[in-house]
């Protein structure tokens, strides 16, 4: 029997496995993978709670106030925010206000955990946790594999551990249930996490009464994980209502459905705000249907030598989490659709078929905000780099329909430099979709002198380029032939050889490319300016979590310095 050593890298958007058939993919995907890929709009929403312009985070996030809508005690600031101060990832799509920029309105994102949406019709069951005397972080034992040493069947005090599921096995009622052959196959096993961006407040909440036995429907109640004083309710027709500590009610009744395979996650959009005196502000949206987001891809690389098989994953084009090395306990049936070690060769590399995941969704862009103050209209036009539209103008009218404020947006496009790219499955996208990114040049408020924006002029590669570092940022490795990591970057216990066709890739971060297309300058209407200088993040465990002897760099940018000048170009 070959010895299987799995070096697993948990990296956000890309998921790794070998799946032979679509039926197998549908059946196993809900359990085998930790997460489904975030859509561009979901990823944008989730970033807001993590962005603070502070010395602690190092994120450069300048903000430009555009206008404020007021009704009673409700104040809605419309602020243009720069949200790419940690760098622009190669697969990052530009929003409706240009690459790295966004206008934040309240929204709720749903992160699906444990298989399916909490609001779906699939059966729900809170999975058991297996305890043992010694902590393990492994797969559930296979039927032909003995239990690990130290395993105990009965829980012991203060001894906690868990096993990862494999081959459709799940802990149900104290037994390892084979969901592959069971009528319980479509089962959600964990409450989802909901994240709400509420004018700078980040709320995270879960369903507190998630079922512990098999049910298909239930009435959810919610628990806020990080804030107090908020009341949250839900129904299937009008979706979410949140009441803040002041009694103001926020209604989220429009939805983006993000679909991948059989799963559906949702982004919930604000539609109405009501204060305690019944003053309202209402929101309407333009909808763009059946937008296909960029495919997320992954592949495994096996190296076999004698009776040893070493295995590790490809790195994603884009990711949002750190990576770690994990030694796995695993036993697979030879030839199984889920078996990542099907190679019968005695020596050499093998790359199983490429796996790709895509999401399709409807996009919502704000169209109108109205109240007793008047209304705010948003005007859009077509763009070449994405199937939705770009925001051209915001126009505020008072309650007499008189225009009191206008904001105009001026754009161009970032182009891409040449690199080796992944051809399949990206043939379905236009070259403009893959190579161009919307670029905000300036904004003008009430025909005043504009805000002008400058960016690092180093070109990003195409969105399907292999020239990315371990975190998905451009790094100049434009001759990389695959996405696989370079084993010489890591302190592996077993040496893995280099091969120019497989893993001899440049994957380290390079500041000259990580800062491609990031914001470097703002010229204000007063003719004063701010200049931004960046550096790479550094840590002592980026490549080996057990070696703290030296600092290594990567995982995006942080702000190194900000220089402010007046209209006479003098330092302030």
Query: What is the C-alpha separation between 229 and 239, in angstroms, rounded?
Result: 20
Q: What is the pLDDT of residue 301?
A: 77
Query: What is the C-alpha separation between 555 and 322, in angstroms, rounded?
Result: 8
Q: What is the pLDDT of residue 310?
A: 47
How is the chain split among helix, strand and coil, in percent rounded to 5?
5, 40, 50
Query: What is the C-alpha separation between 314 and 298, in angstroms, rounded?
Result: 6
Cβ atoms of residues 304 and 343 within 8 Å: yes
User: What's the pLDDT tens digit per position in 165-193?
Assistant: 444 555 555 555 555 555 455 778 788 99
Length of the chain: 572
Query: What is the C-alpha separation between 521 and 453, in angstroms, rounded?
Result: 6
Query: What is the C-alpha separation between 106 and 88, in angstroms, rounded?
Result: 24
The fraction of the chain above a pLDDT of 70, given in percent, is 69
Query: What is the C-alpha separation between 341 and 6, in angstroms, rounded?
Result: 10
User: What's the pLDDT tens digit per position in 468-495?
Assistant: 999 999 999 999 999 888 888 887 666 7
* Burial of 452 (C-beta count, 10 Å sphere; 0-12/13-18/19+): middle
Strand partners, 412: 439
* Burial of 156 (C-beta count, 10 Å sphere; 0-12/13-18/19+): exposed
Nearest Cα to Cα of residue 176 among 130, 245, 209, 136: 130
Q: Which pLDDT band, with edges at 50, 70 and 90, does 2 fall under?
A: very low
Q: What is the pLDDT of residue 424?
A: 80
**What average pLDDT does the segment 400-416 reach?**
98
Task: Find the distance separating the first CA and the last CA of the chain, reported in whole Å.
Answer: 70
Whether pLDDT at 463 is above 90: yes
| pTM (two decimals) | 0.80
Query: What is the C-alpha separation between 553 and 475, in angstroms, rounded?
Result: 12
Greater model confidence, 28 or 275 = 275
Write down the residue that tokens 């699939």 correspond to: 122
Query: What is the C-alpha separation between 320 and 34, in angstroms, rounded?
Result: 14
Secondary structure (3-state) at 536: strand
Q: Which pLDDT band, with edges at 50, 70 and 90, does 153 fall under?
A: low
What CA–CA distances, in Å, run from 227 to 201, 248, 362? 9, 16, 30
Query: What is the C-alpha separation between 90 and 356, in angstroms, rounded?
Result: 17
User: What's the pLDDT tens digit per position in 437-460?
Assistant: 999 999 999 999 999 999 999 999
User: What's the pLDDT tens digit per position in 332-374?
Assistant: 333 333 333 333 444 567 676 676 777 899 999 999 999 999 9
Query: What is the C-alpha separation between 193 and 210, in angstroms, rounded?
Result: 12
Nearest Cα to Cα of residue 66 among 379, 440, 394, 389: 394
- Taking every pair of Cα atoms in the chain, the longest distance, rounded to a whole number of angstroms, is 82
User: What's the pLDDT tens digit per position in 238-287?
Assistant: 899 999 999 999 999 999 998 876 667 889 999 999 999 999 999 999 99
Q: Which pLDDT band, with edges at 50, 70 and 90, does 496 fall under?
A: confident
A 10 A CB-CB count for 552 gives: 18
Q: What is the pLDDT of residue 58?
A: 76
Whether pLDDT at 33 is above 70: no
Whether pLDDT at 405 is above 70: yes
Q: What is the pLDDT of residue 121?
A: 83
- Point out the least confidently predicted range of 55-64, 400-409, 512-521: 55-64
What 3 state SS string does 209-230 have? CCCCCCECCCCCCEEECCCCCC
Q: What are phi and psi of 523, to 5 degrees?
A: -105, 125
Cβ atoms of residues 281 and 271 within 8 Å: no
Query: What is the C-alpha separation between 319 and 207, in angstroms, rounded?
Result: 27
Nearest Cα to Cα of residue 260 among 15, 466, 10, 8: 15
The fraction of the chain above a pLDDT of 90, given in percent, is 50
Query: What is the C-alpha separation between 177 and 154, in angstroms, rounded?
Result: 18
Write down the residue that tokens 């003008």 correspond to: 444
Query: What is the C-alpha separation between 368 and 542, in angstroms, rounded?
Result: 45
Q: Which pLDDT band, with edges at 50, 70 and 90, does 155 fall under?
A: low
Q: What is the pLDDT of residue 551?
A: 82
Average pLDDT over the chain, rounded to an integer: 78
Q: What is the pLDDT of residue 116?
A: 81
Whether pLDDT at 87 is above 50: yes
User: What's the pLDDT tens digit per position in 93-151?
Assistant: 999 999 999 998 999 999 888 778 888 888 887 766 544 333 343 444 444 455 555 55
Q: What is the pLDDT of residue 222?
A: 96
Cβ atoms of residues 379 and 367 within 8 Å: no
User: What's the pLDDT tens digit per position in 290-332?
Assistant: 999 998 887 777 766 554 444 444 433 333 332 222 223 233 3
Q: What is the pLDDT of residue 46?
A: 45
């Amino acid at each position: 029997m070959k010895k299987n050593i799995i070096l697993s890298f948990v990296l956000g958007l890309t998921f790794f496995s070998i799946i032979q058939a679509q039926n197998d993919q549908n059946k196993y995907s809900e359990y085998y993978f930790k997460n489904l890929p975030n859509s561009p709009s979901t990823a944008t929403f989730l970033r807001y709670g993590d962005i603070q312009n502070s010395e602690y985070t190092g994120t450069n996030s300048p903000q430009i106030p555009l206008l404020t809508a007021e009704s009673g005690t409700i104040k809605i600031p419309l602020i243009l925010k720069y949200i790419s101060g940690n760098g622009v990832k190669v697969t990052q799509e530009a929003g409706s206000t240009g690459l790295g920029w966004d206008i934040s309105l309240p929204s709720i994102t749903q992160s699906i955990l444990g298989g399916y949406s909490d609001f779906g019709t699939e059966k729900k069951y809170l999975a058991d946790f297996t305890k043992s005397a010694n902590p393990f972080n492994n797969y559930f034992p296979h039927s032909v594999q003995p239990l690990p040493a130290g395993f105990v069947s009965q829980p012991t005090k203060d001894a906690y551990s868990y096993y990862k599921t494999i081959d459709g096995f799940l802990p149900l009622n104290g037994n390892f249930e084979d969901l592959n052959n069971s009528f319980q196959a479509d089962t959600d096993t964990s409450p989802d996490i909901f994240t709400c961006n509420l004018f700078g407040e980040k709320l995270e909440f879960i369903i507190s009464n998630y079922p512990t036995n098999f049910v298909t429907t239930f009435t959810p109640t919610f628990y806020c994980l990080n804030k107090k004083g908020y009341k949250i309710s839900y129904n299937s027709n009008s979706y979410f209502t949140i009441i803040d500590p002041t009694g103001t009610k926020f209604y989220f009744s429009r939805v983006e459905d993000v679909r991948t395979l059989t799963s559906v996650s949702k982004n919930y959009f604000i539609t109405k705000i009501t204060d305690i005196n019944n003053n309202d502000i209402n929101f309407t949206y333009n909808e763009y249907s059946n937008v296909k987001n960029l495919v997320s891809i992954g592949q495994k690389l096996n190296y076999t030598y004698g009776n040893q098989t070493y295995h590790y994953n490809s790195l994603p084009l884009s990711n949002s989490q750190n990576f770690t090395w994990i030694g796995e306990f695993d036993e697979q049936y030879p030839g199984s659709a889920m078996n990542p070690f099907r190679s019968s060769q005695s020596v050499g590399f093998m790359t199983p078929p490429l796996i790709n995941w895509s999401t399709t969704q409807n996009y919502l862009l704000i169209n109108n905000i109205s109240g007793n103050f008047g209304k705010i209209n948003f005007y859009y036009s077509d763009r070449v780099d994405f199937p939705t539209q770009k925001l051209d103008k915001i126009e505020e009218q008072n309650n007499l329909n008189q225009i009191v404020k206008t904001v105009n947006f001026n754009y161009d496009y970032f182009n891409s430099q040449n690199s080796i790219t992944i051809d399949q499955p990206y043939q379905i996208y236009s070259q403009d979709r893959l190579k161009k990114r919307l670029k905000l040049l300036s904004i003008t408020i009430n025909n005043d002198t504009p805000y002008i924006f400058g960016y690092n002029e180093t070109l990003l590669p195409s969105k399907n380029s292999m020239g990315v570092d371990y975190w998905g940022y451009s790094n100049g490795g434009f001759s990389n032939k695959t996405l696989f990591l370079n084993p010489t970057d890591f302190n592996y216990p077993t040496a893995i050889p280099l091969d120019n066709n497989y893993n001899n890739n440049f994957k380290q971060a390079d500041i000259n490319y990580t800062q491609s297309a990031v914001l470097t300058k703002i010229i204000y209407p007063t003719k004063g300016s701010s200049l931004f200088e960046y550096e790479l993040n550094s840590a002592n465990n980026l490549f080996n979590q057990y070696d703290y002897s030296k600092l290594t760099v990567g995982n995006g940018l942080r702000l190194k310095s900000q220089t402010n000048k007046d209209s006479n170009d003098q330092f302030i």
